[in-house]
Structure 1
Amino acid sequence: MSGTGQRRLSAVVVVTAALSSLLAAAAPATAAATADAQPTPPQVTCTSAKGGLADRLSEDLGRVLGAHTSGHTSFALYERTSGTRCAYDAGRQYDSASVVKVVVLGALLRQAEDEGRELTADEKKLAEAMITQSDNGATTTLWKRIGLARINVFLRLAGMHGTVPDTEGYWGLTQINAADQLTLLGLLTSENSVLGGASRAYALDLMGRVVPEQRWGVPAGAPAGAKVQVKNGWLQRSSGGWRVHSVGAFTGGGHDYALAVLTADHPGMDAGVGAIEDLSRAVHKDLNGTAGPVRSARARVLPRTSDGSLVPGP
């Protein structure tokens, strides 16, 4: 090799060695930067006619969802005054647990309207026990009396096309999603052709009188001036952990919004309730600002056993 060739080869070796040293030095820093990077919060979709509200809700709710990673959480929200809507994974299907009891009530009320009559004294007694105390025996009785065909008619009229009763008759395993639950809450709080005014008022009255020990969930952080109508469900499955749900409407005192939060696969009921209540507080705060008192979070002991909604219907 000539002297010129040797000099060129030496230069290549020096440059290559220098580049290798630079890459080796940079590699730990790159790895460290990757390790230190924060996970991207879940992307919550919000729209609103009120300036800045959609962005604020998207950011705050995404942050809450990102902090609860042990299971699945879906939700849907509307606020009529500002034309606000938010959703996250709202089409995901869940075992209904006891929140399906609002569907049963809706089907019962629609049946009575179709027959041109009011509820009987016995029907009112069963409906009150079913909603205010989440009584399973009353639910099973009404489920059998109404029948699956009429329940499906109500679901179709209500536009709840993603809600599917269990094929083996276990009403607590009805498949639901957050979008349909919000649709149902919307029917109960506005004029429509599915349920008349008296029926809607009756349903909201029952949901407003749910016993205190079952008023956890979406009421957490609600403004003191709002009427809170709520129904919860909590079901432990042998596989996949807990299904914990809370749906509610907030009306009166200038408020007109509803929130449905469904969760699954959390290791315990506390984890599911925690995810629901953290989301709820963020919603109430962003919609209502900081002015005025809010209802405190739950100050009661949560149930440690399922709501018993794995009860066969027909």
Structure 2
Amino acid sequence: MNPEVERWNQASSVTPPYANFTAFFQRETVAPFFQPYYQRYAGAQNLGHPLTSAFPIQQGWLQFFENGALFDPLKHTLPVQTSSTNMDDLINAGLKDAPTGIVRLPLLQALLTAGSLVPLGGQGSTTTYVDLRKATAPDFVQPLPGRPRIDYLSMPEKQDIIIPVGHRGKTRVGHRIPSIFWTYINQPTVAPHGWQKDFGTPLTEALPFTISFNGQPHHMLTQAFLHDGLLLDWDSPGTTGQPAIQRLPTGIDYLRTFNFPAITLTQQQPVWSQQETVLMTRPGINQVLAHIGPHFPLTLLGATTWVEGQLWYRVQWASFKRVSTGWMMASASTFDKPISTGIWSTVDILSPQLAHYLTTIGSNVGMSVYDLSRNRTYVYNTDRQFIAASAIKIPIMLAFLDLLEHQKHEPDEQAMFLLTSMIENSNNDSTSIIYYNQIGDAAGLAAFLHKIGLNNFTADPDAWGNWQLSPQMMVDLLTLLTTGKILTPHHRALALDLMSHIEPDQRFGIGDTAQPGASIAMKNGWLISDTDNLWVVNSSGIIVTKREQYIIAVYTQSQPSLEAAQAIIRHVCKSIASLLS
């Protein structure tokens, strides 16, 4: 007899289900690294909905679905321990898909070995995996027909078939697969690798049982194979009018039997966010501490917990002058140190007090701060577009210098007068001459910004002061200037020098809140909006102290007075200056 058929012959263990288990698959999504497998092999039909997020075990990443589990093996082990004692056996017995490298775990084997008392077909059923295990006994195999040399693997789909599983004495024996199951497992969408690989040797005969749904009896049929099982409801027609057939919900039943695995992490282990995510005060509770972008560094504190199918880590992180703790979703983290080190977060990470202040103003303020010393960006409403007013004179200046470079010219006396009066004195007439007569108005400025990779703006074809751009775009523009990614060294120095000599009455915000002795290159903007007749005011610049260098842009709108807007900008800039000093 095939050893696989006799594997559970002497098994006697019984495992009751966890009473408090609930499936939350409506809220989960397929992890990105399982998406190719899920899409390639009709995952919605064959695996069902995700039950959990993807979570790490020592050998790789695992995700449970209604009808199974997928495993993504890694070449190196992770600093994780799990309470699932059968996981190594499941991985070794799993079906590895060559194109994707993903392993589908044979959860049915674990349920049979444990003797799960989870009812087959749902509540109201008296048939369990223990009954299915009993049916694997060698006594239940059937003798094969005596006709010689029959190809049992190519029998017609409209008749039952007996698949050989070994010998009883000199008699070949096997298990009968009903024609309705045989037709089902031979569908390419159901068994993309072929039924022999995806389902494997039949372990039992097809077992009939009855279950009550809403007071009505349903006549069921189930059959176990080495890698999976089938469940049929004679009284529930499917889309084709035939009785509904599905895989056994081994993912749900595995978690009902063994519960979510307890995950133990190495304390003080570094991890990084691998996508935009949130840090929470408590797992699963909508109390957000901060939003963080990819590559944000954190430290595991060792504690983990499951909440509605999501594994959460207790983590710690450090900002410039403070250390904080909270919770993050395991699926949003990675143990692999990213190559890219540029990271961002909301300003909560830097200062909860400043974040609270900004929240009281809401959507009428936006800011971005790039700490060049640590390669970190802190943001609030940073991608929201605001009217630029005179802040647009910075990109106009840079576009003009870029044009001169392509013409292989240096600014002549007239050009220097226009640039100086536009930036240092915020002269609008000089701005209009450069904008309309030199760089090609809105089209020319937009072309320059697109060329250097900046797109978060809305051009105004009629008035340069009504252009809209985001605080983040201004910070990105000043970063390109500061780090030498645009213009020649001579023209970069010229631009920064002009921005360093803003006339005193226009240096509010960045200019009058920076630390004493700081080097400041800046430009502010202000106007009364035609839309709501309220003030639009902003301040942008580059600050260099003895120990720090950062770029900041603070934008406001819909303010009742110039002074009110300036007060907001000063508060933000002063807070940042005190933190990054």
SS at structure 2 position matched to 1:91: coil
Aligned counterparts of 2:568 and 2:288: Cα–Cα separation in 1: 15
Deviations 1:229-271 (A, max 9, x none): 1101111124421100100101253332110011101111111
Displacement, 1:199?
1.2
Alignment partners' CA distance in 1, 2:567 and 2:417 = 33
Residues 233 and 42 of structure 1: CA distance in aligned 2, closer, same or farther (over 3 Å): farther
Please point out which of 304, 309, 318 is paired with 1:51: 318
Q: Paired residues, what number?
A: 246
Deviation at 1:72, TM superposition (A): 0.3
State the one-letter code of the partner of 1:176. Answer: L
Give SS of 1:222's match.
Answer: coil
Deviation at 1:45, TM superposition (A): 5.4
Given the alignment, which residue of 90, 97, 101 partners 2:393?
Answer: 101
Q: Which amino acid aligns with 2:319?
A: G
CA distance, structure 2, for counterparts of residue 45 and residue 224 of structure 1: 32
Residue number among 39, 57, 62 corresponding to 2:355 in the alignment = 62
DSSP-derived class of the 1:209 partner: coil
Match of 1:206 among 498, 511, 527: 498
Q: CA deviation digits over 1:173-221, x for unaligned, max 9?
A: 11111111001111221121x3121111111100100000000012343
- TM-superposed deviation, 1:67: 4.4
Cα distance, 1:137 vs. partner?
Answer: 0.3
The aligned counterpart of 2:276 is none
Distance in 2 (CA, whole Å) between partners of 1:129 and 1:42 is 45
Superposition deviation, residue 114 in structure 1: 0.8
Q: Provide the secondary structure at the position in 2 that maps to 1:119.
A: coil
* Partner deviation per Cα, 1:253-293 (whole Å, 9 max, x = no partner): 333211001110111111111111111111111111xxxxx
2:518 equivalent to 1:226: yes
Among candidates 153, 174, 187, match of residue 480 of structure 2: 187
2:549 corresponds to which residue? 256
Given candidates 431, 446, 449, the residue that maps to 1:152 is: 446
Q: Hey, what does 2:372 align to over in structure 1?
A: 80
**What amino acid maps onto 1:225 in structure 2?**
G
Whether the 8 Å contact between 2:515 and 2:545 is mirrored in structure 1 is no
Provide structure 1 residue ranges, at least 5 long, that are not aligned to the other structure. 1-39, 289-314
Distance in 1 (CA, whole Å) between partners of 2:386 and 2:482 is 24
Taking a change above 3 Å as real, the CA distance of residues 278 and 96 of structure 1, as seen in their structure-2 partners, is same
Which residue of the partner structure matches residue 131 of structure 1?
Answer: 423
- Please tell me whether residue 284 in structure 1 is matched to residue 577 in structure 2: yes
Match of 1:177 in 2: 470
Q: Provide TM-score, normalisation by structure 1.
A: 0.73
- Name the CA distance, whole Å, in 1 between partners of 2:297 and 2:507: 28
Give per-residue Cα distances to partners, 1:54-82, cap 9 Å, x unaligned: 7652413202213446x700001101112
Counterpart residue identity of residue 562, structure 2: M
Measured at CA, do residues 209 and 117 of structure 1 come closer, stay the same or move farther in structure 2, by a change above 3 Å? same
Aligned CA distance change for structure 1 residues 177 and 55 (closer, same or farther; 3 Å): closer
Structure with greater helix share of residues: 1
Q: What code does the residue aligned with 2:494 have?
A: Y
C-alpha root-mean-square deviation of aligned residues, in Å?
Answer: 2.3
- For the Cα contact (< 8 Å) 1:48–1:84, is it kept in 2? no
Counterpart position of 2:406: 114
1:269 partnered with 2:545? no
CA contact (8 A) 1:43 1:58 kept: no
Deviation at 1:224, TM superposition (A): 1.7
Q: Does structure 2 conserve the Cα–Cα contact (< 8 Å) formed by 1:164 and 1:176?
A: yes
Q: Distance in 1 between matches of 2:512 and 2:360?
A: 18
Instruction: Give the counterpart letter for 2:492 in structure 1.
Output: R
In 2, Cα distance between equivalents of 1:281 and 1:153: 35
| Structure 1 stretch displaced more, 140-149 or 256-265 | 140-149
Structure 1's 262 and 45: CA in aligned 2 closer, same or farther, altered over 3 A? farther
Name the SS for the 1:248 alignment partner.
strand
Residue 517 of structure 2 aligns with an amino acid whose one-letter code is: G
The CA distance in 1 between the partners of 2:557 and 2:297, in whole Å, is 28
Higher Rg: 2
Q: Distance in 2 between matches of 1:45 and 1:207?
A: 32
- Bigger RCO (CA 8 Å, 6+ sep): 1
Contact 2:454-2:473 at 8 Å conserved across structures: yes
Counterpart contact for 1:77–1:86, Cα < 8 Å: yes
C-alpha distance in 2 between matches for 1:43 and 1:170: 38
Residues of 2 paired with 1:180 and 1:48: CA distance? 24
**Counterpart-to-counterpart distance in 2, 1:158 and 1:101:** 17
Whether the 8 Å CA contact 1:75–1:90 is kept in 2: the answer is: yes
- Tell me the equivalent position of 1:24: none
| TM-score normalised by length of structure 2 | 0.40
Structure 1 SS opposite 2:454: coil
Structure 2 CA distance for partners of 1:223 and 1:172, relative to 1, 3 Å: same
Which residue pairs with 1:31 in the alignment? none
In the alignment, the residues of structure 2 paired with residue 61 and residue 81 of structure 1 have an alpha-carbon distance, to the nearest angstrom, of 21
Counterpart code for 1:52: S
SS at match of 2:580: helix
Conserved 8 A contact 2:365-2:557 = yes
